[in-house]
Amino acid sequence: MLVRSAREEDVPNVLELWSLARSTHATTPDRAEDIERLVREMPGSLLVADDDGPLVGVLIAAWDGWRGNMYRLAVHPDHRRRGIALDLVQRGEQQLRGKGARRITALVAREDDVAGALWVTAGYAYDEVIGRFVRNV
């Protein structure tokens, strides 16, 4: 399995993977044009785990010039518990550190115990102080 930067031709497979492994807490619709823009305008921010053809994992690891943010981590249900998520996280960290990140935030639904456990295993701590306000525009 190879963790690599996504290419525009991966977009349909990313959408398919997210449809299979999307968090029930995610509410914003996934659109091909948004993923294509991410791949084009922020190269390297969308990582995929490629199992010699089919994509088995995906992660957004984005740099805003101040901090790194990781979100939309998903692994195909048939390929879970094989270290793919941790491989994606480690590659995301490597890329973000290379861009100058000194702090990385993982966006995870508070009630998602499975995802929360993965991030703890990856060395992240839940921040009891900082919350997040969101608005769909």
Single-letter residue type at 48: V
* 82-99 per-position pLDDT tens digit: 999 999 999 999 999 999
Residue 45 reports pLDDT greater than 90? yes
Query: Residue 36: which pLDDT band, with cuts at 50, 70 and 90?
Result: very high
Beta bridge partner(s), residue 61: 70
**Per-residue CA distances from 70 to 6, 30, 41, 120, 121 (Å):** 15, 16, 17, 14, 15
Residue for token pair 């490597």: 94
Strand 104-106 to 68-75 pairing:
parallel
Domain boundaries 2-121, corresponding CATH code: 3.40.630.30
User: What's the predicted TM-score (pTM) here?
Assistant: 0.92
CB contact at 8 A, 3 and 88: yes
Q: Structural domain boundaries of the chain?
A: 2-121
* 105-128 per-position pLDDT tens digit: 999 988 888 888 999 999 999 988
